[in-house]
Every structure is written in structure tokens, then in C-alpha cells.
Structure 1
């Protein structure tokens, strides 16, 4: 199967047919980073793999994280050394395999009066972190005194900041990283489908799971798929899936909610990324382009898992943290230009105290043979996949080929180092001169689509040359993502493929009419479907800017 057809929305019917006709070794339920990672690991070990996702890839937790590939510094506080070691080495692998989506940023960690870190513990922590995480020599930490700290970041509160440490973190686009993992799995031969909801399990005469019934949410059809092993990797929804097998007992999910709010960089003009403690809680302030985002609060969540809102009280809490840290800024709710909220599953257990929640990933199996993986973090997705495959090996009492994903470059990341990526950007900028794109515009495309940017620009060039440039660019992007990135809805495009919903709401509002018209022509929507898609986008725009009072 060629990469041109294996990840196109225009190819759904062929994909469904393949899912119905083949017998798989593994069916994965869930197209977040965990499920996509499992599909990629399994297909590259020679297994036959299918993956179904009831909404879009990364539409749950995997597009609502803090967008950092953490080295695991915060685990040091709990003396969780193995996690720091694993996370540090994983971060390097994710960086090498997704150069266009993962990049190093300097993180400024201020020492603040009355918080838990002091100069000695920060120095010791960062030194240990550099060692455990295998940090490259040029990326090791630096400690600064108060004077130098305030020079580095003049906005800091000089009454409370006593000094700082600077270390390297890696920023990412979490939803694109997830989609590229799923796409790479498809390019390697996995049968992957979004908007395909597992509605019930099929069982054999011994009451063991042998397949699933799936509803195609695009056409409304029902179909079945069969496999030796079924893996439930539905993130916060794993218990919803487990209940379709049998009542949940033993381990269960407890949901934690995090929020992020976005400002124009001029409103919050920090010089670098900052990670600071406020009354014991960690707050991240991350500049990206002409925006700065801030998060996150973590609280127990009991509401609708499919429609998570940022509350006004949560925004006020973060504004209060920012006021204490940057007293010269006078930020208000009106300065927030977008926001997002997400949930992640922590693992509780019958009979255990809620304070004993596990933040680690765990695998458990029901009597019917359904294997569930829960918990975990974005950074560790590859290791989670490896552990699932090791579990399957034990179940089958046979050795499967060893994992290869540490060396597999993701779709769009066919570069050996950052220099290669920069020359690629210069080369295609010259090649597509007639598009009249600035260097910055081409670089932005490369940071999103990587080595697939040539195809994106080719698609843009296929539109009428007399078309207004901004319109032509966004229509070309839309068409590319429908044909090569399984975009089926406007929110797939505006939120998870481009992040315009999170970082450029004005562009969404400005282009919504022309994009919805083009999408209905590409995807054969009738007028009712088109209006419904527009309605959903208006709702998401409103949700990003309006906060729920309690």
C-alpha cells in the first residue's frame, strides 16, 4: 500500500473494506499517542495491525497537553530516578525521529522565596537530572545569581526571585506528533481509521474477545473486524471501553484536568520559557511565535469527558500566579486570546486511598483477554508500546521481533539533523518562488509538515494564480490535509493539523467561510453537513474565549 492512499480521507471505503476482510494479530482501540505508538511498534515487528479511533487522532488528551517533551525533571522531587532516566533517553529518541516537530528550548527555573527549591537543591537536582537523563554536554544546566537572573528575565518579581537555573526542555506539537506516528504506522502497512467507533466486542465460545463491531461515523455504516489480541488504549476513556466487555473492577481511571490559556506575546513578553513554582504547584509559561501560553492547573474532573471547558476560576487562578511572578504586567481575562482544557487518566485501585494515585502507565487484562494500557505520558509513548508488545509476547509464549521504533523516522521527518531541515526549507523556498511566500512562511510550513512541505506547496500551487494569496495558502493546506492526513472535519484541520484554533483564532474566523466551502466540495458534504460543520467551529471558537463560571 503506498503512502499516497493509506492516509487519505478520500480512501476511507477501501480502508474499511480491508479492515473487514483481513484477520489481524492486533486491533488497537484509540488513536491518541499511546494507541498510535502501539500500532507503529507492532506493524514494524511484522504483525498485522488495525487501529480504530472514534473521533480524530489526538482528539482527546493527546492534543491538550502542555506541548512539551519532558525530560522528567519534576519526577526528581519524588526520587523517581528510573522514570527520569527513561524519560531523558526517550526525549532524545523522539527528537531524532521527529525533527520537524520537536525542538529544544531554554527553560528558566527561578528560585522563589518560600518555595520548596533553594540554590543547593536546585543545583543538586539539575546536576542529577543532567546525569540521569543523559543530557548532551552543550545542553547541560547553568545556575544564575539574582542579578543575572533579573537581566535574563527583567519581568521577574525582584522581591521574591533569588536566582535561577536554566536547562533545556523540548517543545512539540502534540497533535501533529500523534498524527505523524499514526500516519507512519499506516505507511508501514497498518490499517488505520479515524471516526470509527468500537461499539461492542465479539467473543468466541469460551467468552474470549475475538473482534469488534465498529460504527463508521462518516457514512453511518456498521462493520466488524477480527484479531487475535485486542488492545484498549483509549486514554481517559479506557473504562468506557472496558465496561463494554464487563463491569470495571480492581484498577480504574481517575481523571485529572489541566488547562492552558494563550496570550499575545506582546501582553506577556517573556524572554524565554519559564517553569516556576507557585505555592508548591508548577506553572509553565511558554512563548511560541507571537503567542505565549500558560498552564496548567490540575484538579479532579467529574464532568463531560467529550466537552471540557476552561472555568473562569481557573483563569483567575493562573492570572494570580502570573501577577505574583510578573508584577509589572497587568493581565486580565480580556487579554486571553485562546485556551484549551484536557484530561489525563491517573490510575486508582479498589481499597486504595485517592492520594495513592499512580501516574505511571500500567497494563491489565480482563478474563475475556481484553488487554488495557492506561496512564503514562506523551514523552514515554514508545516505551509504553514496547511494554504492550512484551506483554503480548508473554501471552503467546513466543518471541516477536525486537522493537525498531527507536530508529524509525516519522513521516515528514526524513532529515538526519536540524541543518538538513534548514537547507530543505531554503531549497523549496527557492523552488516555489512563484508562490511569493516569505522565508518565515516556508519555515512555518516546514515546522509543521517537515519533509512533506514540498507536497503542501505543490498543492497550494495547484490553485488559481490570481487567487488572493492568503486564501490560496489555506485552501492548499486544507486540500493537502484531506488527501494526506485524514482530515474529515473542520476541527481536524483548524485544531489538530494546524493549531490555528489554539494560536491564531483570527485566521480561523477570517477563513471559515471559504474553507468550509472548499471542504464540502472535497468531502462531498451537502448543505446541511456544511452548516453543521460551521456551527461546530463557531462553538469551538466561542469555547476558546468564553470561560464557564462555576
Structure 2
């Protein structure tokens, strides 16, 4: 089987040009990748193109939780709670190395909408709707026990708490593994490939797309029976290429997250709390803690979204309200991210009526668009798209099988098997002096593909005396050859998350990654300079925030 490799781009483009597909998907986020996996597993011939990198939009900028839909109980949105609650168990089972159960602490705060009775009622209903396993069902704690569980809580306002299970994930890697699994099953996927026009027959029905390869500027055509626009917040941009917007449209809302060292916010537990009605998550991840999210309507550059100073100050204010003893300011933020999600608006409806559900709509020319939805529900969104297309077919498709498909890297049957695999690799490769911590990091990033990374380390053993540099260089080689890495930001941001969660390691190894990538991908000096400049701009964005006038401040 051919690797999912940037070095094989030309052969992928040749295949896209020369063959006719049943389905062409525009957008390589979790929605598009999920549709590709569902369709290919049903026997359709599938192509997918992504304008930038896989998960480079909303799918790498979420709160990184596989939510069970608890917050939808406030609006009594029972079907969403039921579906997302059950879906998260499937996502967990099929991506054990990336999805981790966590016990979420939900404090009851004086003046907010929950009290002990309503929280217990809500969590009990949630347990039933989501079919939560017995050992994972909620617990309710009184004020004293709550403050013992989390001594940092505000003693003046916290009146008790509930504890329930959520699942933490790495959203960009989850998206990548879904895309990679679709590729392994026969789909043809290409990043840095932008749709610039549609091909239409004499009756104006769309029969294909004109695509521009963003890396070498080549323009080529792809033909398909059905074209699905799954470009997230950018779906309307794709719809305009088709001819315009009628009826429904997307309304982008922006959310930001900020990252601290754990010693700065030394919480004992994962926490989800209300501040003036807004739900805020405080999520430990290794020796870091991230906090978010905000939600505001967004009307600016969709391709260059910045965190604003007042947004960071708002989140710090929220933190001070729940953890009053902490001394927090902007200087303690080590990184941040911002993203937009598409809500659905409709002509004649007010902003208050924006839909948070996923919806499918089709243009007169046959462009099928799916928008809205959440990370947790990506499988069901894909299923609904295939059901929509099936209604147009003479025959019928086989049923969706993705609930049974373990993702690439997830060839485990339990969390214990992952630990056993890590122990085995540590013993097997002791001669390479790879630390147990390093192998664990790889195991929970690459899963059952970790051994391929270690084989790359073996290749670099003579070249690098510094063990960290050797390890990172091997990751570069592996991700280029197996995960379609084509730029510095692909590697530092979406494949490894060093940009967000280990910026010091990123800075220490910046020159190593740049040199290895330039060698493997045959970059000339101009290309190296462009990549370094672009990555420096991205790094600067994570720690410098815009003021009201759009000027960067530290």
C-alpha cells in the first residue's frame, strides 16, 4: 500500500485527473474526512481536496473535547444530547490512543443557573439519554466535599458540584487519523488543493471541479457524480463559486482558548463552570492547562484569525471568579488559539435564531453543502450526507460501517493494551536510549504506528548525538512520509501540537525541523525563508494579542 505521503503528491494528482469519482468532497476537516471514510467504506469511489492542510480550520481550534452534549440539556435539546452522548462512546472505542475519559468537575455557583437539584436532575437525565456506563455515571458532592476535591474554588460562591465523565482528545490528530483511514481504504485525498471553479454540463449541473495545487501552482480537473461542500465556515465561499447564496447561509462565531503552565493554574481536576451564564472549560493536558472558550459573532478575515487582548482578559476574569487566589495576567499565557465555527442563518430570521445543528442544502446546480455540527457528531453528519445522496440513486448503498472501523493508529481493544504496547517498545528499543516518557508521548500521538517513528529514530541514530533532536527529526521524516506534512506549521501545529502545548521544545528544535524538512522536500533557500517567515508569524500570533485598534500587544 502506498504511504499517505507528501512525496507521492504527483501520483495522487495524476489519479485525481485521470479517474472519475462517485464523490468529490471539498474540505479536509473532521466533517469532510468523516464523509470520505463513510463513503469509501460503503464501496464508493471517493476523492477529497483541502485548500490548506487537513484540520487547518475549525477542526484544530476546538475545545478538544468529545462532548456528551450536556450543555444542550439547558435548552432541552434531547435528540442532540442522546446522539452526541452515544457517539462519544463510539469515537472513544475507535480512537483509543487519542480519546481519553476524564472526570469533569461541574461546580454549582451562587447566582448561576444550576443548583444541586437541577444539576442532579440534568446529570441523571444525561446518564440515561447517553447510555452512560454504570462506572461512569455522575456523582454529586456537597460544598465541603467539593472544596476538598478542588481547594482552589471560590469559597464564597461555590455551593457544591457534580462530577461526570467527558472525553478529551487531540482534535487535529483525530481529523488526520480519520483522513488517513479513508486513504488506507482507497480514497484519494490531497491537501493544499483549492477548488477555484466548477465544471458544468449543458444543463448547468455540476460534473466536476477545477483545482489549483497550492504547492506548485498546477491547475487540474476532477470529475465526480456528486460534489459535497464540507468546507466548514468557508462553505459559503465555495457556494459563491457555484453561483451565489440562496436561503440559508453561515454565520461565523469566534472562540478563543489560552494556555498556561500547570504550576500557574494548579487545579486538581478538569473543570467546567458557569460565569454569567457562559460555560468555561479548564482542562489540564500534561504540564499545561488550557482554558476556553469565548463565543462572539465574527466578521473579519477568516483566513487570519487573531486572539484579541480583551478576549484574553475576559477569560482571565472568568478564572479569577472561580479561582480567586490565583495571580493571573496576560504575561502568564504561554500560547493561545482562535477559530470560527459556522452557525446556520436563514433569510428572514434574527441572529438569536441561529441554528447550532448540522444542516444539508443543495444548489440548483447540484452542489450539496453540509454546514454546522460539532466534532463529536462527525460520523452522524457523514451518515446523513450519504443518506441524502442515496435518495438520488436508483440502487441503495450498504449501511454505514464506521462505528466498527478503528482509525489508523488505533489498533487496540483497551486502554491497557496501549500501556502494554508502550512498555513493549520501551524494552525492545532500549539500545536507542529512548526515554519511557518519549515513547509514551509517541504512543498517545501515533498509537499503533509508533514503531514506524522509532524505526526512523534508528535511521537517525548516527546523525544526531542530541537525543531530543534525533527524536524530533525522526518525527519530521515520519509525518512527511506517512501524514502528508508539507509545511512547518503542519508539523509544529497540527501533527505534534508543539506550537500550543510545548512552545519551548518547538523553539529548541526549530532549526532541526526546518533543516530536515528542507532536505526531504528538496526546498530551495527561497522556500526555506518563506516557511521560516510564515512560521515565525504564526508563533507570534499565539502570544501577542490585538487591541481594539488591531495593534499587537504582549
| C-alpha contact (below 8 Å) 1:265/1:290 kept by paired residues | yes
Cα RMSD of the aligned pairs, angstroms, is 0.7
Q: Deviations over 1:217-269 (max 9, x none)?
A: 11110000000000000000000000000110100000100000000000001
Equivalent residue number for residue 152 of structure 1:
149
Find the aligned partners of 1:146 and 1:289 in 2 and give their Cα distance. 28
Deviation >3 Å, runs of 4+? none
Q: 2:419 aligns with which of 399, 422, 431?
A: 422
Structure 2 equivalent of residue 456 of structure 1: 453
TM-score, scaled to structure 1:
0.99
- Give 1:508's aligned residue: 506
TM-score for the superposition, normalised by structure 2: 0.98
- What is residue 479 of structure 2 aligned with on the other side? 481
Give the aligned partner of residue 467 of structure 2: 469
CA distance in 2, matches of 1:219, 1:434: 42
Residues 1:297 and 2:294 aligned together:
yes
Give the 3-state SS of the residue equivalent to 1:127 in structure 2.
helix
Kept after mapping to 1: 8 A contact 2:42/2:401:
yes
Q: Once the two structures are superposed, what CA deviation does each residue of 1:51-106 show, in whole Å capped at 9, x if it has no partner?
A: 00010000000000000000000010010111111101100000000000001011
Q: Does the alignment pair 1:137 with 2:131? A: no
| Cα deviation code 1:505-533 (max 9, x no counterpart) | 11111111121111000111100000110
Check conservation: 2:479, 2:491, Cα contact below 8 A. Answer: yes
Contact 1:512–1:534 under 8 Å retained in 2: no
Out of 351, 356, 359, the position equivalent to 2:353 is: 356
SS of 2:163's partner is strand
The Cα shift of 1:438 comes to 2.1
**Partner SS, residue 201 of structure 1:** strand
The question of whether the paired residues in 2 share the 8 Å contact of 1:6 and 1:186 is answered with no
Residues 273-312 of structure 1 mapped to structure 2, 5 A cutoff: 273-312=270-309
Q: Is the 8 A contact 1:56 1:492 kept in 2?
A: yes
- Segments of structure 1 that go 5 or more residues without pairing to the other structure are none
Cα distance, 1:402 vs structure 2: 0.7
Structure 1 counterpart of 2:190: 193
Report the CA distance between 1:6 and its aligned residue.
Answer: 4.1
Q: How many residues align?
A: 547
Deviation at 1:440, TM superposition (A): 1.8
The C-alpha deviation readout for 1:169-198, integer Å capped at 9, x for no partner, is 000000000000000000000000000001
Task: Give unmatched runs, 5+ long, in structure 2.
Answer: 549-554
Equivalences for residues 161-310 of structure 1 within 5 A: 161-310=158-307
For 1:82 and 1:384, the matched residues in 2 are separated by 14
Q: Paired residue for 1:539, among 518, 537, 540?
A: 537
Q: 1:444 aligned to 2:441?
A: yes
Residue equivalent to 1:518:
516
Matched, 1:124 2:121: yes
How far apart, in 1, do the equivalents of 2:446 and 2:336 lie?
24
Q: Distance in 2 between matches of 1:115 and 1:221?
A: 56
Equivalent residue, structure 1, for 2:324: 327
Once residues 291 and 152 of structure 1 are traced to their aligned partners in structure 2, the CA distance between those partners, rounded to angstroms, is 20
Per the alignment, residue 410 of structure 1 pairs with: 407
Partner of 2:74: 77
SS at 2:402 equivalent:
coil
Distance 2:515 2:417 in 1: 37
Counterpart contact for 2:56–2:494, Cα < 8 Å: yes
Question: Which residue does 2:386 correspond to in 1?
Answer: 389
Q: Which residue of 2 aligns with 1:52?
A: 49
Q: Distance in 1 between matches of 2:461 and 2:413?
A: 35
Aligned 8 A contact 1:52 1:192 in 2:
yes
Moved more, 112-121 or 392-401: 392-401
Query: Residues 441-496 of structure 1, C-alpha deviation per residue, up to 9 Å, x if partnerless?
Result: 21111000000000011111110335211110000001000000000000000000
Q: State how far apart, in whole Å, the 2-side matches of 1:301 and 1:461 are.
A: 47
What is the alpha-carbon distance in structure 2 between the residues aligned to residue 370 and residue 519 of structure 1?
38
Partners of 1:89 and 1:398 lie apart in 2 by 30
User: C-alpha distance in 2, partners of 1:153/1:446?
Assistant: 30
